[in-house]
Structure 1
Amino acid sequence: MNAKVWLVDDDLSVRESLGFLLKTVDYDVADFADVAALDAASDQQAPLRGCLLLDVRTPAIGGLSWLNDETRRHPLLPVIIMTDHASIEACRHAFSHSAFAFFIKPLDIEPLLQAVFQAMNESELRARRA
């Protein structure tokens, strides 16, 4: 399976603008309004490759809960956390559950693109080791 950027954010404008930006720099992007939609779309594709841009607050299952429960199922997928409700505790929790990077909205695009690039490379390294 080809690596892609998996984007989960309940805000349509974030999905559209960030998805457009990532596509302009040649990433294959799949976007979802919540983690349930991501899980449904990727159910037959585990383990996922590429990177996951994950909003902390999504409907039903929050991003941090998903990170806590699902990263074992997707060991090749570095997770970049995004939030507009930043707290030191959320950041600490994200990194304690293997988040690759943590960004506060509004997103600073250059560091985010650099993190996506690094996460995609990390996914490749993990796939080679697996």
Structure 2
Amino acid sequence: MTNHVYLVDDDEAVRNALSLLLETVGLNVRSFASPETFLMQAADLTPGCLILDIRMPAISGLKLQEKLTDQGVSWPTVIISGHGDIEACRRAFRNGAIDFLSKPVDEQDLIDAIQKGHAELETRRQASEERAEAVALVRHLSAREQQVLEMIAKGLTTKQIADALILSPRTVESHRAAIATKAGTSSAAELTRYWLDAQAE
């Protein structure tokens, strides 16, 4: 699981204090004094949890969040604010923030939010790996096996597949056995997941 945290705040004292806190619990923290600096480096960074100050010169934390979303960067984000702005809070959550914390930030609340963000990233990573595995499996199947797998995913029985493809049930069973061998499972539910994951890529 990733332990990367990216802190963007124009207040040096806040950056130093939060960086020290998070490093003491084993997190890999990089801090940025401005959104512009972060944006220039974002494409080269390992995915992690973002901590954004809501009020910064030129580009606010909310605007930075929106710019990152436009660039396809949708990392879990914690917004911190010195002002209890309800509308800003709503906007942050609409843009996908996982938490909105008021300054002075409660240390445990921040750590909990980051752990939640890292768990979300891990879930995404696992889902991405499963999709890649499914794509590789489907590409490894013959054209006929892909047809059979698609029909399995649609819930068709062996007889229905045989009728649709003008094959004997025995031939369909042979294709199903070959698919099961390549997939490492004969479970219709698992085979359906493989097919759907492959189509999602």
TM over 0.5: yes
TM-score (norm 2): 0.59
Q: Which residue of the partner structure matches residue 40 of structure 1?
A: 40
Q: Is the CA contact (8 Å cut-off) linking 1:78 and 1:119 kept in structure 2?
A: yes
Q: Out of 97, 122, 126, which is 1:124 matched to?
A: 122
**Which of the numbers 60, 72, 80 marks the counterpart of 1:62?**
60
How many residues are matched?
126
Q: Name the CA shift for 1:120/1:128 in 2 (closer, same or farther; >3 Å).
A: same
Q: Name 1:18's counterpart in structure 2.
A: 18
Look up the equivalent residue of 2:9 and give its one-letter code: D
Look up the match of 2:169: none
Instruction: Give the number of the structure with larger relative contact order, counting CA–CA contacts within 8 Å between residues 6 or more apart.
Output: 1
TM superposition score normalised by structure 1: 0.89
Residue type at the aligned position of 2:103: K
- Comparing 99-108 with 57-66, greater Cα deviation is found at 57-66
CA-CA distance at 1:34 after TM superposition:
1.3
Moved over 6 A (4+): none
**Tell me, which stretches of 5 or more residues in structure 1 are unaligned?**
none
Q: What is the root-mean-square deviation in Å for CA atoms of aligned residues?
A: 1.4
Q: Which has the higher strand share?
A: 1
- Equivalent pair of 1:3/1:49 in contact (CA under 8 Å): no
Matched letter for residue 34 of structure 1: S
Task: Indicate the structure (1 or 2) with the bigger Cα radius of gyration.
Answer: 2
Q: 2:95 aligns with which of 79, 84, 97?
A: 97
* Deviation by residue 1:68-103 (Cα, 9 ceiling, x = unmatched): 22125213x100000002211111111111111100
Residue 3 of structure 1 deviates from its aligned partner by 4.6
